[in-house]
Amino acid sequence: MLAAGEIHSRGTPSAKPSSPRGPDVPPTTFAPETTPTNTADAIALEARVGLSAKPKTLSPWLFYDEAGSNLFEQITELPEYYLTRTERSIFAAHAAEILHEAARNQGPAGKLTLIELGAGTATKTGILLAEAVRQQGSVVYQPVDVSETALAEATDNILSNIPGVTVRVQVADYTREALPLNRLPNTRTLALYIGSSIGNFTPEDARDVLRNLRAQLLPGDTLLLGTDLAPNGAPNANKTEAMLLAAYDDTAGTTAAFNLNVLTRLTRDLGADFDTENFRHRACWNPTQSRIEMHLESITAQRVHIPANSSGSALTINFAAGETIHTENSYKFTTAAVDSLLRAANFEATKSWQDPQHLFAVTLATAL
Ligand code: AVJ
């Protein structure tokens, strides 16, 4: 089911994955196979279960069809969405120190291998990969993601921009499946889980995701975790609830379009009859749970239909005016919450970096 394709970058920007050459480059293949996690069956089941529940819910993985992935890329460039650029600025300022710290338990002959959970198109990872090549001459990079197209884009970007990187992609759902840790002798693993991706999980699920990762690491391996900070997340934090809300309800309406796109997807993929005009985007801050919630609010009382499919018979969904579908949680952390989450998964936070405004934290943790 799972297949890893391996590609090595060469020194030239015009390198083509399919025709590697050069004296120090082993033969390569690139044949990832898709693990069907986003199939029609999975969507049908998710919609049936979520829309029959009270309150109604839909899982955030449904956002990321082609249109949704493009909208998310647009979100990362919005003025209000500080997360991506802030994390990138932390990498830019501290990459050397981050990599040195991760390599601390490393024998002199050994190298760090970087593995990335939910790599997507890996746009921020380049900073860390380039620094790893600077420090150790070359690096093996293993991005894991459910999206084969995102991984292909990531591979292209990295191979053409960062000489010295060997890319081994794996199309897999890292929350459930094993990671491609076919480890070379004398290497240590630095696992990257960045971009505040962990924020989509409840604290229990987040702990389980990290435990699954930890089970596949050796003591002394490291994890670099990117978390968005709560308004009270760090001493002198310069973050207000208003900033948080704006990041999830921008004036251009891109986040609204991203949220509403899930209904367009269900209409297309399941033959449902959602009218996006009858719903509106809502973002709210839940201080008790320390999370931003995104909802789709039904503007009027209405009925929506989903035809019979692999998950069961035809479904009629009743909405009251003002009723919502809860589509996403985005948890925001205090530094203490990050430390205890890591602890619960048998990691120990060793060093943490923040931007000058204390909006975002990047934490290095060692597997115990
Ligand atoms: C991809 C989960 C990190 O929670 O900030 C962006 C997704 N949702 N705007 C986040 C998202 C609305 C994003 N993560």
Q: Which of ligand 1's atoms lies nearest the C-alpha of 283?
A: 12
pLDDT range class, residue 18, cuts 50, 70, 90? very low
Question: In this structure, which residue's CA is closest to atom 9 in ligand 1?
Answer: 248
Q: Find out whether the peptide bond into 55 is cis, omega within 30 degrees of 0.
A: yes
Rounded to the nearest angstrom, the gap between the alpha carbon of residue 57 and the centroid of all alpha carbons in its chain is 20
For the segment 217-249, what is each residue's pLDDT rounded down to a tens digit?
999 999 999 999 999 999 888 999 999 999 999
Distance CA(212)–CA(179), nearest Å, equals 9
pLDDT range class, residue 6, cuts 50, 70, 90? low
Looking at the predicted structure, is the pLDDT value of residue 33 above 70?
no
For the segment 247-275, what is each residue's pLDDT rounded down to a tens digit?
999 999 999 999 999 999 999 999 999 99
Find the residues whose C-beta lies inside 6 A of ligand 1: 75, 83, 195-197, 199-200, 248, 255, 328, 330
| pLDDT score for 203 | 97
Q: Which of ligand 1's atoms lies nearest the C-alpha of 72?
A: 6
Looking at the predicted structure, is the pLDDT value of residue 40 above 70?
yes
| pLDDT score for 38 | 52
For the segment 133-176, what is each residue's pLDDT rounded down to a tens digit?
999 999 999 999 888 888 999 999 999 999 999 999 998 888 87
Ligand 1 centroid – CA 323 distance (Å)? 23
In order of start, what are the domains of the chain with their CATH numbers? 39-73+255-331 (no CATH), 81-237+333-367 (3.40.50.150)
Ligand 1 centroid – CA 21 distance (Å)? 39
Question: In this structure, which residue's CA is closest to atom 8 in ligand 1?
Answer: 248
Q: Among residues of the chain, what percentage have pLDDT more than 90?
A: 77
Looking at the predicted structure, is the pLDDT value of residue 26 above 70?
no
Ligand 1 centroid – CA 67 distance (Å)? 15
Where helices occur in 29-147 by DSSP H, the ranges are 40-52, 66-75, 82-102, 125-136
Our mutation pick for probing the ligand 1 site, out of 88, 123, 146, 196, counting the most ligand atoms within 8 A of Cβ, is 196
Our mutation pick for probing the ligand 1 site, out of 72, 78, 228, 281, counting the most ligand atoms within 8 A of Cβ, is 72
Distance CA(225)–CA(180), nearest Å, equals 19
Question: In this structure, which residue's CA is closest to atom 4 in ligand 1?
Answer: 330
The H or E element spanning position 206 is helix 203-214
Other beta carbons less than 10 A from residue 163's beta carbon:
17
3-state secondary structure of 23: coil
